[in-house]
Amino acid sequence: MRSVGVEEELLLVDVASGEPRALSHAVLAASHAAGGEKDAFMAELQRQQLEFATRPQTDMGELAKDIIRWRAEAMRRAENLGAGVAALATSPLPVDPVIAGGERYQWMEEQYGLTTQEQLTCGCHVHVSVESDEEGVAVLDRIRPWLSILLALSANSPFWQGRDSRYHSYRSRVWGRWPSAGPVEIFGSADRYHEQVRSMISTGVLRDEGMIYFDARLSRNYPTVEVRVADVCLDPATTVLLATLVRGLVETAARQWRAGEPPSCHSVGMLRLAAWRAGRSGLEDQLVHPATMRPAPAEVVVRALFEHVRDALEDTGDLPHAKAALADVLRHGTGSRAQRQMLARTGSLRTMVAECVRLTCA
């Protein structure tokens, strides 16, 4: 069975005011001083962010425990500094991000200017093990049309600098400002993938392989496919559903490759349009159906994804839980809907952020 690991980026906030706080360096310093499992937490581009990574797991119940555990530990360490953490993909309140120290981040600030300065976004990255780079690239070629649906399911960033963006995932629009971000063409082989990466770096626009920000890529550190398209999810149960579906997609794509089934030949331009629609609509309106590249109700498109990976989910024993979790998201909506409902009920972005802090570790 393929192993799965998750990386989540969390927002460090003042619980009373709801405003992001630049405390990641202090949280990490305390973590290093304490020793033990310090490597679960990592710095990110902005000091208002904190990232953690779970262990690789084959059992989704164990993965859920890891996610909840590390969210709770992040909260504990933030609380020691008079703050909290919120699983929000953008800050609802106005913020002036503070770029973390280090040569790499300073290079990015110099190279990309305002894009770097404004890039306070929190994503969720799902790693799924693959047997080889050849299998990994075959998977990347075949999951391309389905990635926009994962974005719609995870949408959790309706607000930007104190305003309603009118998007469900505005993070995806901000993230798309990076020069290498977004959907990619069909590679066909691992050699062509690696040559493309080398060619992109050789332009001088990107500093290194870590700046290959494709929606899905081969991990440079692990033998995995890394799907990077999603917002961080407010509800950890949605994160587990996301990871379950990603593993199903990877296994389904690998089986198609071994059976000699070619990937869909949708252009990058069409995939970008599907991604835009997913970020704009979430699950509240139409999405672009990956089979037809035409608009269809969000529930129809999401259920098409579920049917696409059904056999893989059944083989891993994930089908009943994934079916129930998906029904729950379709019924109650994503984090973006929850944020807007909280704002409508309380009339205060500050109160809404405080509620999101509570829900992050609920």
Whether the predicted model's global pTM rises above the 0.75 cut: yes
Q: What is the pLDDT of residues 108-166, one digit of tens each?
A: 999 999 999 999 999 999 999 999 999 999 999 999 999 999 999 999 999 999 999 99
The residue type at 358: R
Identify the pLDDT of residue 33: 55
Reported confidence tier of residue 40, pLDDT bands at 50, 70, 90: confident
Q: Please, what are the domains in the chain?
A: 4-343 (3.30.590.20)
Average pLDDT along the chain: 96
Q: 27-41, 190-204, 300-314, 330-344: lowest mean pLDDT where? A: 27-41
* Mean pLDDT computed over 183-192: 98
What the block records as the tokens of 358 is 């509570």
Whether the per-residue pLDDT at 34 is higher than 60: the answer is: no
Question: Span 254-259, mean pLDDT?
Answer: 98
SS3 84: strand
Q: How confident is the model at residue 218 (pLDDT cuts 50, 70, 90)?
A: very high
Q: Which two tokens stand for residue 154?
A: 């995870």
The packing angle between helices 236-258 and 298-316, to 10°, is 70
pLDDT at residue number 39: 64
Chain centroid to Cα 31, Å, comes to 24
Comparing CA positions, the residue from 233, 179, 193 lying closest to residue 7 is 233
**What pLDDT was estimated at residue 101?**
86
Q: How far apart are CA 357 and CA 351, in angstroms?
A: 10
